[in-house]
């Protein structure tokens, strides 16, 4: 595996490890334990995520998903809700047509 792929995979593992810790965040040490990586590699991964607007450092020094990352999640949830509404509408039309 090339160094670039390894670094990219590390960044993605850290991004996933932050799941569920949006308000309280995780420390560098906690992220290292969760990902099985060194604290120095976690620092580099966090720098990348922060530069890309996907993570932030909280006032308490811990790391969490950024508002930008949460906006991505919110956009996905809204998209899925719209699709569910459309699917329900189609199913209602099908059900109404099947009684004729």
Same domain, 57 and 72: no
75 within 8 A of 62, measured Cβ to Cβ = no
39-51 helix and 28-35 helix, angle to the nearest 10 degrees: 110
Which residue in this structure is represented by tokens 């039309």?
Answer: 93
Same domain, 13 and 37: yes
Q: What is the value of pTM for the model shown?
A: 0.76
Which residue in this structure is represented by tokens 């099908």?
Answer: 94
> Per the structure, how many domains does the chain have?
2
What is the average per-residue pLDDT within 88-94?
89
Q: What distance separates the 2 farthest-apart alpha carbons in the chain? A: 68
Same domain, 1 and 31: yes
pLDDT in tens, 26-74: 999 999 999 999 999 999 999 999 999 999 999 999 999 999 999 998 9
Strand-pairing partners, residue 57, are 63
10 within 8 A of 37, measured Cβ to Cβ = yes
Domain that holds residue 11: 1-65
């Amino acid at each position: 595996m090339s160094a670039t792929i390894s670094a990219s995979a590390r960044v993605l593992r850290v991004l996933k490890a932050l799941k569920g810790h949006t308000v309280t965040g995780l420390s560098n040490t906690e992220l290292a334990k969760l990902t099985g990586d060194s604290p120095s590699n976690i620092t580099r991964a966090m720098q990348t995520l922060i530069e890309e607007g996907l993570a932030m450092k909280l006032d308490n020094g811990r790391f969490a998903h950024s508002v930008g990352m949460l906006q991505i999640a919110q956009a996905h949830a809204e998209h899925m809700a719209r699709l569910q509404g459309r699917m329900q509408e189609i199913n209602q039309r099908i059900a109404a047509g099947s009684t004729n």
